[in-house]
A and B are shown apart, each in its own frame.
Chain A
Amino acid sequence: MRTADGLQHQAELASTRLPGHLPRLLPAGFVAGPASLAEHLARYGPLPSPGVNGGRREALIEEVDRAGLTGRGGAGFPTARKLAAVAAGRAPVVVANGTEGEPASSKDKVLLARSPHLVLDGAVLAAEMVGAGQIVIVAHSSVREIVDDAVAERKRGGCGQIRIKVTTAANRFVGGQASAVVHWIESGIPTPTATPPRLSERGLGAAPTLVQNVETLAHLGLIARYGASWFRSVGTPQEAGSMLVTILGAVREPCVQEIAIGTPIGAVLSLAGGPSAPLQALLLGGYFGQWVDAAAAASLPFSWAGLADLGAGVGAGLIAALPNDSCGLAETAKVARYLADESAGQCGPCVFGLAAVADQVERLADGRTSELGLLRRWLGQVDGRGACSHPDGAVRLIRSALDRFGPELEQHAQGRCCGTSSVLPVPPRRQR
C-alpha cells in the first residue's frame, strides 16, 4: 500500500459520496496505477445487486432515466432508453466499448487504467439490468493488461457469476463505432455494418446487444450505488452529472480531467494549467467536432446546450487548444486526410468522396490551386451517405474549418501559411 498517500487517499474515500464532490470516476490527486478491488470497494462500497427479480431491474432502469445519464462515447444517446430496448429482447449481450480509436482522445484509456473496477461494475450492472449472461470488454491495447488483471482479481474474489470476456480493441478510428465493435469481436473485421437491423435487436452472435462506452458504464456503477439525485447534484438540469474530458494542444499540462457538465470552457482549460500560448481557436468534441473561436468560447458552458449556438457540441469530451502560431487549415487538412484514410472502405461516397475532399482541403492549406465551390459541393454529396456517421463527422469538421479559418484562405491562396507549430496528433499513414 502507498502509505505516503494514505491520508489523502482516506480523505478521498470519505468524500466520494458527497453530492457535489469531484472527481467521481477517477482517483483524486496522484495515485499510481489502477485502483485494486479492495481500494475500489473501500472507496465506493459494495455494488448493490439488482437481483433476478424483474421489478427491481425495471426500477433501476427508471433510476438511470431519472438520473438523465447519456452516452459518453460522443453521440449522447439516453442510456435508459438503450437499456430498455435491449432488455426487451431475448438473451442479450453487453459490450463495454473502450476502443477509443480517436488519436487525440485519452479519457477512456485513463479511466480503464485507473478505475477498471468501476467500469466492470457498470458492465455487470448493465448485464443484470438487461438480463444478459455475457459481457465483452473491448479495451484499447495500452490498457488491456490492466483490465485482464481486474477481471482476474474479481474472479479470485468470487464476485459475480456473469462471464466477462476481454478483447483488445481494433486500432482503427472507425473501430469504435458500435456496429464496428460488434463486427470486430465477432469476425476480427473492424468495420461498421448496415442498419437495420439495430444492434439492440440483432448484434453479437445475432443476440440483442447493448454497446455502451466505458465511461457511461462507470457512471452507471455510481448511480446504482448513490441514486439519481446524487448524480444530478452536478451538471446542468438538462445535462446532468460529470464527464471526462481530454484537454490537449497549447495548454501547460495536457491531461484528462473530470468536470461537471456545463463548466465554462475557460475553467476547463485552467484544469490543464491554462493556455501555454495565445489561442486562436479550439477544436471541441474530437475529430468529428467543430472549430470555434477561442475567445468566444471561453465563457461558454461545456455542454450540448451551451455550445449549440456555436453549432458545436461536447462530442466525446475533447478540447484541443490551437495557438496563434498554428494553422487551423493545415491542422484540418492533416485530420481530413487521416479520416479519409480511416474510412472502412465500404461505402462509395465515403471511400471516394472523403479522399477527394481531403485532396481539396490539402490544396487549400498548401496554397495550391483549389476550388472552394467544388469542395463545398463534395461536402454536400458526402454528408449523411455512409452506413455509419464517419463521413458526416469528417464533413462537420471541415465545414467548421472553412467557417472559422475562412479569412485565412486568401493568404493561403497567395502562398502564405500562418502555421509553424502543430497540435493535433495523427498516426503515420498506413501502407495502402
Chain B
Amino acid sequence: MTARAARARLRVDPIACDGRGLCAELLPELITLDDWGFPIIRAGDVPARLQADTRQTVRVCPKLALRLEGLS
C-alpha cells in the first residue's frame, strides 16, 4: 500500500454532490462545471503531479462528494 505515487482516479458521487462548485475552482486542471454547475471530471487517471492538490480538493468538498480511488 505505497499509495502516494500509485495510479489514482477521481470520482464524484452524483447523489451527494450539490453543485457548490468549489472543486472546479480549486482543481480546474481536472474539474470543469457543466451548464448547471455540476462537476465534470476529466477522464483518466489523476497525474502524479496533481495528486496532492486532488487530495486537498477531496477533503474540502462541503458535501464530501469527491473520492480519490486508488487503482491496483
Which residue of A352, A377, A387 is within 8 Å of B15 (Cβ)? A387
A193, CB-defined interface residue at 8 Å: yes
Give the CA-CA distance A381 to B37 in the complex, in Å: 11
Query: Can you name the residue of chain A whose Cβ is closest to the Cβ of B16?
Result: A194
Which residue of A346, A348, A378, A386 is within 8 Å of B19 (Cβ)? A348
CB distance from B70 to the nearest CB of A (A): 13
Contact residues on B (Cβ < 8 Å of other chain), bracket: 10 to 19
B15 A194 Cβ-Cβ under 8 A: yes
> Which chain B residues (1-47) contact chain A, with CB distance < 8 Å?
13-19, 34-38, 40
- By CB atoms of chain B within 10 A, which of A349, A356, A381 has the most? A349
CB distance from A154 to the nearest CB of B (A): 38
**A: number of interface residues (CB 8 Å):** 17
A386 B36 Cβ-Cβ under 8 A: no
A289, CB-defined interface residue at 8 Å: no
Which residue of A193, A349, A387 is within 8 Å of B36 (Cβ)? A349
A385, CB-defined interface residue at 8 Å: yes
B15 A193 Cβ-Cβ under 8 A: yes
B15 A349 Cβ-Cβ under 8 A: no
Give the CA-CA distance A21 to B35 in the complex, in Å: 54
Kindly supply a per-residue 1/0 record for chain A positions 7-26, scoring 1 wherever the CB is within 8 Å of any chain B CB and 0 otherwise.
Answer: 00000000000000000000
Q: Which residues from chain B sit less than 8 Å from chain A, CB to CB?
A: 13-19, 34-38, 40
Known contacts A347-B38, A378-B35; 14 further A-B pairs (Cβ under 8 A): A192-B15, A194-B14, A194-B16, A346-B14, A347-B17, A348-B34, A349-B36, A349-B38, A352-B38, A377-B35, A381-B34, A385-B38, A385-B40, A387-B14
11 CB contacts below 8 A, A to B, read: A194-B15, A346-B15, A347-B17, A348-B18, A349-B14, A349-B34, A356-B35, A356-B36, A385-B14, A385-B40, A386-B14
